[in-house]
Amino acid sequence: MFRWLQSQLPKIVLAPSFAAVTVFVYGFIGWTAYVSFTRSKLLPRYQFEGLLQYRKLWQMDRWYVALDNLLVFSVLFILFCMVLGLLLAVLLDQRIRVEGALRTIYLYPMALSFIVTGTAWKWLLNPGLGVQKVVREFGFENFEFDWLVDPEMAIYTIVIAGVWQSSGFVMAMFLAGLRSIDDEIIKAAYIDGASLPRIYFGIIIPSMRPVFLSAFIVLAHLAIKSFDLIIVLTRGGPGYATDMPATFMYAMAFSRGRIGLAAASATIMMVTVIAIVVPYLYSELRNKGND
Amino acid sequence: MTESRFSAAGAAGTRMTFGRWLLFAVLGLFVLVYLLPLYVMVGTSLKDLEEIRAGSMLSWPETLTLAPWIKAWGSACVGIQCEGLKGYFWISVQITVPAVAISTLLGAVNGYVLTKWRFRFDNIIFALMLFGCFIPFQVVLLPMARLLGMLGLSGTISGLVLVHIVYGIGFTTLFFRNFYIGVPNELVKAATIDGAGFLTIFIRIMLPLSIPIIVVTVIWQFTQIWNDFLFGVSFSAGGAQPITVALNNIVNSSTGVKEYNLDMASAIIAGLPTLIVYVFAGRYFVRGLTSGSVKG
Amino acid sequence: MASLTIRNLSKQFGSTPVLENIDLEIEDGEFLVLVGPSGCGKSTLLNIMAGLETATEGDVLIGGTVVNDVHPKDRDIAMVFQSYALYPTMTVRKNITFGLRVRKMPQQEIDQALDNVVDLLKIRTLLERKPSQLSGGQRQRVAMGRALVRSPSIFLFDEPLSNLDAKLRAEMRIEIKRLHHRLATTAVYVTHDQIEAMNLASRIAVLESGRVQQIGVPQYLYDHPDNIFVAGFIGSPAMNLLPGTVVKRDGRMLFQSDDSAAKEIFPLEHYKFRAHPEEHARVVLGIRPEYVTLPDSGKQHVDTNLLVEAIESNGFDKHVTFRYGESEVTGRLPSHSDPTIGQNMRMTLDLSYASLFDEQTGNRL
C-alpha cells in the first residue's frame, strides 16, 4: 500500500494544481457559458433560456461600439507595436556599445502597471495642460489636441499609451529572434556580396516568421484583454465611446447588474481568444515534439 | 558587450559614417520617446499646482516640493478615506508576497513532475494547465466573485491571494517545465540509484540548480501580481484593495480639484516596486518574457 | 559480488517491441559487454537491470534472487552514465558521497569509503571543485568514483566513454580494465563501439533489434560469428562479404563467387560446417581484411586480381579498398608497400578463418 502511494506520489503532488485549474478555469468557463444562456440579471438564474442574451447583445449600440473599438485598437496596436519593435530590434542589432542600456530604457514600460502608464499618459494628453499646451508654446498657436475627450479620437489615445507600453517587449522578442539566426548563413551571404539591407530583407526577416507569429499572438491576446488602460485613461468614455468588450463586460456585471449579458460578452471574448490561440498552441506543442 | 554577427566579416561600420550617425539619432529619438513620460511624471510630481497650470509640462520644476509625495503617501483621499496610499501599499505587499511564493513553489514542483516523472497523458494535462494562461479573465470574474462570496473571502487579502495563485500556476508551471526539460534525465536516474526518492531529488538536486528560473519566475509573478488591476477591482469592493485600485481611485476621483502633482506622485509610488525590481534584475525579466512566449 | 541473470525477458513500449526473449547468465566477477547499433535495446536492457525501468515479461535475478520489484537503491548496484550525470551544484566530494549520505551512513565510514576511492582514481586534488570546473576525463573519473564508493555488487556502465575524445577514450578504457582486474566486481557495460567491446569484455553479447545475436568470448565472436550481422559488426575494418553459390565438384564443396569475371572457385574443404547447404544454395562468404594479403602461399587460398580503388594509411598498415566484380573488398597491406589507385594487384585471399553464411537467413553454415 505504502509502496503504491510512493509510486503515485508525482501524480498526487500534481493533483491539487490540476484540480485547481479544472475548477477555476474550465469549471468557471462552463459556469459563465451556461449563465450566458439564462435570464440572469443581478443574481444568477439557472433556467436555460437559449440565445436571448446574445440577441440582446447584438442589439445594443454599446456592444457594437465596443467591437468596433476592439477592431480599430487591435489593428493599430498590433501594427505599430510590430513595426516599432522590429525597427528598434534591427537598429539595436547593429553592434552598439550601449545596447544594454538602450534595451533597458525601451523595455521599462513593461514593468509598469497599465494603471501607472495610463495615469502618465492621461496627464501627457491632458486637453488643456498637456501636449496641446506644449506644442502651442513652440509657436503653433492653433494646435488642438483634445483627443482624450473627443468621442471620435479618444480610442487613439489608448493606442498611443498601449504601443508605448508594449513595443519594448516586441522589440525584445524580435531581438532574440534576430540573434538566434545562424551566424554562418549571414557570413556566407556577406561573402557572396549581399548588402546589409539585402541580408536583412532577404534572409533574416523571412526566417523570423515564427517570432512574428508569436509576437502577433501575444499582442492580439493583450489587445483583447485591454481593460486597465481604458479604465484609467478614459473610463470607457466619453460616454461609452472608448468601451471595449472587457470594459463592457465589467460594466454589465458589476454596475448594471446584468450578469447574463456580461456572461454572454465574456463568452464571446473567450471564443475569440480560443480561435486565435488554440491553433497556434496546438501547432507549437506538436512541433516541439514529444519530449 | 554583444558581438554583432558582422564582426568577423569586418564590422559593417564601427566608423562613424553617415549611416552610423543616423542610427544613433534614431535610437536617441526613441530614448526620448520612452523616457519622456517618466520625466514628465517625476517633474510634475515635484511642482505645486500653480506652476503646473501656468508653466510648461516639459520644464523642470522651479518650486521643487515634496508636498505631493507626502500627501500621496499619507493623506490622499481614496474613496471616503483620506489616509493616503500607505495602507494600500501594505495591502499589495500582503497580497503579492504569499501569492508569488506559493505560485512559484507550485510551478516548480509541477514542472518537476511533468518532466522527470512522466506518465500517461501528462502532455495533455500540461496543455490543459497551460491553456489557463491564455483565457481572458473576464470569463471567470463572475463565478469567482460568487465563489469568494460563498467562502467569505470577498474583499479580503486571502481571497486575492487565492485568485492570483490559481491563475498564476499556468505560467509558473510553464517556466519551470521548460527549464527542467533542459536538465538531463540521467541526473534523476543517478540520484535514484544513489537512493534518493521523489522529494529528496527535488529538494537536494533540482531546486539548487533552479536558481536562474526561480529568479525569472519570481520577477515575472511579482510584476504580474503587483500590477494587476482587473482582479483587484473586481473582488475587493468595499474591502482590501491593492494599490493599483487605489491609484485609479485617486486619478479618476470626480470630487474636488484635480491635483495633477498628487496623481503623478501616487502613480510613481504605485509603480516604484516593479520598476526598481526591473532596473536591478531586468535581464531576468526579459528572459522570462522571451522564454515564455518565443519558445512557446 | 553477485551474479546477474536475465530470464526470458521482453520489453514493449506501447505496442512496439524493444527487447524480445532475452536470456543472459552473467557470472560473478564477469565483465559482460552489451554491444550493438543505436536503437538495438541495449540501454533499455541496462535500465531494466538497474531497476529504472520494468520489463513487460521475464525476470531479473541478482545473486539468484528475483529483483523485479526491488527498487534500484536496494539492488546494490551502481551506474556510470554517458553524460556523467554529476550533480552540478555539488562539489566532487559531495557528489561522490551523496548516495552514502542519503543512506545515512555514519560520517566516519563515509570518509573512509571516500578515501579509498579517491586515491584509486587519482582525484584527490579535485575534491572541492564543482563539475563545471572539471575536464571531461576528470568528470568521468568522478562519476566512477561515485559508483565505486558504495562497493556495490554490480557495476552498470551506459556508454561512459562516448563523450570523450579518442585519446582520452583509449586511456580510460585501460583504466576501467585495470580497475576491474583489481576489484573483480561483476560489470555490465553498454557500448556501440565494438573496439571497446573487444578490449574490455570477458564476454560480449551482441544485440540487434531487441534480440541477442550472439554471446561469447571476444576472440570467438571475431573468428566464428554466428550470423552476417555479427560478422559485419565486430571487427574494424569490417569483414568482406562476397555473395555466391555452393557447387559440388568431384564430391568437393566449393564456393563460386558471383563477382569474379573468371567465376572463381573457392575450395571449402577445410571449412567447419555446422549445417550442410544444398548444391546451388545461395551463400555469402566472409573474409576478414587481414586475410586479403600480398601473394602468399598458405594452406587454402585463392589468388586473384583486384583493382585498387582507395587507400587509407594509419601508419601501422594500409587499408586498401579493391573492386572485385560487383563487390568491394578491403585488404590490409604492409605500411611500406606501395599500391596505387587504378592498379591491378595480384592478391591472396586466405580462407583459413573464412565464414560462410546462408544468404537468406544470414546464419552461419
CATH number at residue B189: 1.10.3720.10
Give residue-wise pLDDT tens across range B199-229: 999 999 999 999 989 998 999 899 999 999 9
Percent of chain A with pLDDT over 70: 97
- Chain A: closest CA distance from residue B122 (Å): 9
Q: Rounded CA gap, A260 and A264, in Å? A: 6
Residues of chain B numbered 163-222 and touching chain A (CB < 8 Å): 165-167, 169-170, 173, 181, 197-199
Q: Is the pLDDT score of B15 beyond 90?
A: no
Residue B127 CA to residue B278 CA, distance in Å, equals: 30
Q: Are residues B47 and B132 in the same domain?
A: no
Please check whether residue B278 lies inside any domain of the structure. Answer: yes
- For residue B119, is it within any domain? yes
Sort out which chain A residues have CB atoms less than 8 A from B110's CB and list them: 13-14, 17
Would B23 be classed as within a structural domain?
A: yes
Are residues B187 and B109 part of one domain? Answer: yes
Q: State whether B53 and B195 are in the same domain.
A: no
Query: Is the domain of B126 the same as that of B254?
Result: yes
The average confidence (pLDDT) of chain B is 86
Q: Is B170 among the domain residues?
A: yes
Same domain, B182 and B234: yes
Average pLDDT over residues B117-133: 88
**Grid cell in block for residue A181:** 539566426
pLDDT at B1 over 80: no
- Cis status, amide bond into C237, omega within 30 of 0: yes
Q: pTM of the predicted model, to two decimals? A: 0.85
Q: What angle do CA C190, C116, C61 make, to 5 degrees?
A: 40
Residues B139 and B194 in one domain: yes
> B190 and C146 in contact by Cβ < 8 A?
yes
Q: Which of B88, B109, B135 has the highest number of chain A CBs within 10 A, making it the mutation to test binding with A?
A: B135
Task: Answer whether C79 sits within 8 Å of B190, measured CB to CB.
Answer: yes
Same domain, B156 and B258: yes
For residue B20, pLDDT over 70 is answered with yes
- C83 and B186 within 8 Å at the Cβ level: the answer is yes
Residue A288: pLDDT over 90: no
The mean pLDDT of A188-207, rounded to a whole number, is 80
CB contact under 8 A, B193 and C88: no
Min distance A153 CA to chain B CA atoms (Å): 20
Q: How far is C158 from chain B (nearest CA, A)?
A: 10
Q: Per-residue pLDDT for A291 more than 80?
A: no
Q: Could you report the predicted ipTM of this complex, rounded to two decimals? A: 0.86
| A84-131 tens-digit pLDDT | 999 999 888 887 888 888 888 998 998 999 999 999 999 888 888 888
Whether residue B71 is contained in a domain is answered as no
Inter-chain contact C99–B194, Cβ cutoff 8 Å? yes
- Give the residue from B117, B179, B193 with the most C CB atoms within 10 Å of its CB, the best one to mutate: B193
| pLDDT of B7 above 70 | no
Nearest chain A residue to B23, by CA: A91
Burial A99-113 (b: 16+ CB within 10 A, else e): beebbbbbbbbbbbb
- Touching A (3+ Cβ pairs <8 A), the chains are B
| pLDDT, average across residues A267-281 | 86
Among B36, B65, B94, identify where a domain stops.
B65
Does residue B78 form part of some domain? no
Q: Which of B65, B96, B116 is the last residue of a domain?
A: B65
DSSP codes of every residue in B136-183:
-THHHHHHHHHHHHHHT-TT-HHHHHHHHHHHHHHHHHHHHHHHHHTS
Contact C102 B194 (CB under 8 A): yes
Whether residue B189 is found in the same domain as residue B226? yes
Note down pLDDT in tens along chain C; length 365 residues: 689 999 999 999 888 899 999 999 999 999 999 999 988 889 999 999 999 989 999 999 998 899 998 889 889 999 999 888 999 999 999 999 999 999 899 999 999 999 989 988 889 999 999 999 999 889 999 999 999 998 899 999 999 998 888 898 998 999 899 999 988 999 999 999 888 999 999 999 999 989 999 999 999 999 999 999 999 999 888 999 988 888 888 877 888 888 766 667 888 878 888 888 888 889 999 999 999 888 877 667 888 888 899 999 988 999 999 988 888 899 999 988 888 899 888 888 888 888 999 989 989 98
Q: A129 CA to chain B: closest CA distance, Å? A: 7
Q: Name the residue among B177, B167, B179, B172 with its Cα closest to residue B134.
A: B167
**What's the pLDDT tens digit per position in A30-68?**
999 999 998 888 888 888 888 888 888 989 999 999 999
Q: Report the candidate in A238, A229, A228, A227 with the shortest Cα–Cα distance to residue A127.
A: A238
For B186, the closest of C72, C81, C90 (CB atoms) is C81
Intra-chain end-to-end CA distance of chain C, in Å: 39
Q: Domain limits at B48?
A: 2-65
Confidence check: pLDDT of B170 > 80:
yes
What is the per-residue pLDDT for B12? 47
Residues of chain B with Cβ-Cβ distance to A285 below 8 Å are 123, 127, 296
Residue in B138, B140, B181, B295 to test binding to A, most A beta-carbons within 10 Å: B138
Which pLDDT value is given to residue C56?
92
**Residue B80 in domain:** no
Residues B164 and B219 in one domain: yes
Q: What is the pLDDT of residue B3?
A: 39
Task: Report pLDDT for C211.
Answer: 92
pLDDT computed for residue B288 by the predictor:
64
At B13 the pLDDT is 47
Helix spans in A138-258 (H)? 154-179, 183-191, 196-199, 209-225, 228-233, 245-250
B231 and B151 share one domain: yes
Q: How many domains does chain B have?
A: 2
Residue of B nearest to C76 (CA): B193
Has residue B189 been placed in a domain?
A: yes
Residues B29 and B135 grouped into a single domain: no
Residues B53 and B93 in one domain: no
Interface of C to B at Cβ within 8 Å reads: 47, 50, 52, 72-73, 77-79, 81-83, 85-90, 98-99, 102-103, 146
